[in-house]
A = this chain, B = another copy of it.
Amino acid sequence: MILNQISVMIGGEAGAGIARSGFLFAKTCMRGGLHVFGTNDYQSLIRGGHNFYIVRADAEEIYSQADTIDLLLALNQETILLHRNELTHGGGIIYDGEEVELSEDEMGINNVRLYPVPLKSMVKELEARPIMRNTVALGAAIGLLNFDLKIFNGIIKDTFKEEIAKINIAAAKMGFDYACDFSRDQFIGDFEYHLKKTKGSRKKHLFIAGNEAVGLGAIQAGCKFYSAYPMTPATPILHFLAEHERDYGMIVIHAESEISAINMVAGASYAGVRAMTATSGGGFCLMTEGLGMTGMTETPVVIVLTQRTGPSTGLPTYTSQGDLRFAIHASQGEFPRVVIAPGDMEECFYKTMEAFNLAEKYQIPAIIITDKFLAESYSSVKSFDLNRIGIDRGLLSTQLEYAGKEAYQRHKLTGDGISLRIMPGTKGAIVRTNADEHDESGYTTEDPALTVEMADKRFKKLNALIKDLENYETTKFFGPKEAEVTILGWGSTKGPIREAMKLLNKEESRSNYLQILCLCPFPVANVQGVLDSAKLTVVVENNRTSQLSGLIRENLLRDVDHKILKYDGRQFNPQDLSQKIQEVL
């Protein structure tokens, strides 16, 4: 028996509620005390096509999906045809036996258990909508896995309104009973995988997606203005914040374009509140001019760049890490910025909070760079420590009256380049800023000496920022100090890399891993330190040109030994990745 260690896939057409089912199942596992990771794969269409959701649950901590499927909930035949080769030996398929006929033979794989359940008929019997087939299948799965239906029912109750909850509970019970009934002799007895509620209940755990964690981080950081234009995979942040805007005194605007969004956000920040926007590549293109304006006017903003597969519209619903250099160099001219890449859901939360602090302390734009895989995957995480990141608004005065002796100057030249920021509307002060080069008071200038002084002022802030970043986690190191190979990565590859390390380091300490969280300014010393003691280095990236390697070359004047790159729009799978790493050893 394999207890509390499973990878479940739910697959079917778009519009069939696949993601929702995956979500419910995953949460059930989490409430059962397990670690969970959930990720979805969907196409750029609304109905039809092929969608799937992978839930992995484990008693141990897990960081990503697995390569293989132990239990497949197939809502149509296509799902089985597409994924049968991913099934583990001894894995099973729950499917509608009255709609789809399958023999193990036909399946072409040994040792796969087939568990036909009359999904459609049951839904009919219930007089429910066809979408409820999912719930029946989930119930059957819970039965098959010998798991606890009560937990599932509780989640249903928490998620849906009463009426809908009732019908779902009935549907799940139907599937569950079917599996259990049958089970004594065929279903459960037959299936190796079992789930069991563990003692170490994960009460304090959250099941959260990267996008939600970013949104939550923004709320907690006191973001009061969010403006965006929908763009996959950043849109869920808009939805999340719009849902909560009234409870948190925030303005959320669905703007007419990304150009509008970034400018609204700049206006809000100038007025004195924390402000954010989020988008993906095409929208980020349209924001680049506004980005430069925030750099020039020293207006703190947070921009979330949620990458997807490019170039251009590319694969709108698939993942990529192709925009790193673009984020670092976007907009004309030179000005300091930070580019931060969280690697998991917790970092999405904490780093978003940090991004607001850094943006305000240095009066610069802060870019949080994520991607579809991180942004839309869910995982169970320890509930957030709400005191870990304090609020630091830097040199911002929230006084209603200006008390300075000299006339206020928004862009005053100072030792560290940081000028006092006050809000327009403060009595006794005029707050003037300017996208043209300007003097300390914000008046336009074309004077060469002042131009240099002002550029230097802005770059002094970079020096201060670089120093300050020593107090932040700009890199994280995982694994044994000494190892055969040192893996380098940034962003969402973290999960698969950590999983791959589990595999690699099972017997000996073969690998360690440096996660780079701050890509700009580049944490030269930290990376240098690790590279110096590395035996062999390999960069793992979801792009084609290995942009991180380029940054390492540029910043450290050294090359890495190997690159493992994936640019088909899909995230790395742990096993596959560990094999690729093994190959370079």
A449 near B: Cβ within 8 Å?
yes
A285 near B: Cβ within 8 Å?
yes
Which of A296, A323, A455 has the most CB atoms of chain B within a 10 A radius of its CB? A455
A163 near B: Cβ within 8 Å?
no
Given the interface pairs A314-B333, A315-B446, A322-B334, the reply to whether A282 lies near B292 with Cβ below 8 Å is yes
Distance of A275 from chain B, by nearest CB (Å): 18
Partner of A334 from B317, B452, B543, B568 at Cβ < 8 Å: B543
Q: How far is the CA of A293 from the CA of B570 in the complex (A)?
A: 22
- Among A520-571, those with CB < 8 Å from B are 543-545, 550, 553-555, 557-559, 567-570
Given the interface pairs A314-B436, A544-B334, the reply to whether A309 lies near B451 with Cβ below 8 Å is yes
Chain B residues lying within 8 Å of A329, measured Cβ to Cβ, are 325-326, 328-330
- Among A328-373, those with CB < 8 Å from B are 328-335
A193 near B: Cβ within 8 Å?
no
Q: B451 and A569: CB pair below 8 A? A: yes
A310 near B: Cβ within 8 Å?
yes
Mark interface residues in A431-451 (1 if CB within 8 Å of B CB, else 0): 000011100000010101101
Given the interface pairs A296-B313, A309-B451, the reply to whether A44 lies near B332 with Cβ below 8 Å is no
Q: How far is the CA of A295 from the CA of B326 in the complex (A)?
A: 15
17 more A-B residue pairs beyond the given contacts A292-B310, A315-B451, A557-B558, with a C-beta to C-beta distance below 8 A? A259-B286, A282-B292, A285-B285, A285-B330, A288-B288, A295-B311, A296-B313, A309-B451, A312-B331, A314-B437, A318-B451, A325-B329, A329-B330, A330-B330, A448-B570, A451-B567, A455-B567
Chain B residues lying within 8 Å of A317, measured Cβ to Cβ, are 446
Q: Which residue of B lies closest to A558 (CB)?
A: B557
Distance of A407 from chain B, by nearest CB (Å): 24
A459 near B: Cβ within 8 Å?
yes
Distance of A425 from chain B, by nearest CB (Å): 24
Q: B309 and A437: CB pair below 8 A? A: yes
Q: A567 and B452: CB pair below 8 A? A: yes
Given the interface pairs A297-B312, A567-B455, the reply to whether A331 lies near B285 with Cβ below 8 Å is yes
Q: Which residue of B lies closest to A295 (CB)?
A: B311
Partner of A332 from B285, B331, B555, B557 at Cβ < 8 Å: B285
Q: B435 and A312: CB pair below 8 A? A: yes
Chain B residues lying within 8 Å of A496, measured Cβ to Cβ, are none
The contact size tier of chain A is 35 or more
Q: A312 and B334: CB pair below 8 A? A: no
Chain B residues lying within 8 Å of A333, measured Cβ to Cβ, are 281, 309-312, 314, 320, 322-323
Q: How far is the CA of A496 from the CA of B14 in the complex (A)?
A: 63
A316 near B: Cβ within 8 Å?
yes
Q: B282 and A310: CB pair below 8 A? A: no
Distance of A232 from chain B, by nearest CB (Å): 12
Q: How far is the CA of A356 from the CA of B281 in the complex (A)?
A: 27
A43 near B: Cβ within 8 Å?
yes
Q: A554 and B550: CB pair below 8 A? A: yes
Q: A332 and B322: CB pair below 8 A? A: yes
Partner of A448 from B281, B451, B452, B569 at Cβ < 8 Å: B569
Partner of A326 from B297, B320, B331, B446 at Cβ < 8 Å: B331
Given the interface pairs A289-B285, A296-B314, A568-B448, the reply to whether A307 lies near B332 with Cβ below 8 Å is yes
A270 near B: Cβ within 8 Å?
no
A187 near B: Cβ within 8 Å?
no
Distance of A78 from chain B, by nearest CB (Å): 14
A493 near B: Cβ within 8 Å?
no
Q: B437 and A315: CB pair below 8 A? A: yes
Q: How far is the CA of A455 from the CA of B565 in the complex (A)?
A: 13
Partner of A436 from B289, B307, B316 at Cβ < 8 Å: B316
Q: How far is the CA of A578 from the CA of B550 in the complex (A)?
A: 33
A63 near B: Cβ within 8 Å?
no
A284 near B: Cβ within 8 Å?
yes
Given the interface pairs A282-B332, A329-B325, A331-B285, the reply to whether A296 lies near B312 with Cβ below 8 Å is yes
Distance of A566 from chain B, by nearest CB (Å): 9
Chain B residues lying within 8 Å of A292, measured Cβ to Cβ, are 281-282, 285, 310-312
Q: B295 and A312: CB pair below 8 A? A: yes
A280 near B: Cβ within 8 Å?
yes
Chain B residues lying within 8 Å of A554, measured Cβ to Cβ, are 550, 553-554
Chain B residues lying within 8 Å of A332, measured Cβ to Cβ, are 280-282, 284-285, 307, 310-312, 314, 322-323, 326
Mark interface residues in A173-213 (1 if CB within 8 Å of B CB, else 0): 00000000000000000000000000000000000000000
Chain B residues lying within 8 Å of A43, measured Cβ to Cβ, are 446
Distance of A410 from chain B, by nearest CB (Å): 15
Q: How far is the CA of A325 from the CA of B337 in the complex (A)?
A: 15
Distance of A451 from chain B, by nearest CB (Å): 5
Q: B544 and A459: CB pair below 8 A? A: yes
Q: Which residue of B lies closest to A452 (CB)?
A: B568
Q: How far is the CA of A446 from the CA of B323 in the complex (A)?
A: 19
Distance of A436 from chain B, by nearest CB (Å): 5
In the A-B complex, the 10 residue pairs with the smallest Cβ-Cβ separation, listed nearest first, are A310-B333, A281-B332, A311-B333, A285-B289, A296-B312, A448-B568, A554-B554, A285-B288, A325-B329, A312-B435
Q: B544 and A553: CB pair below 8 A? A: no
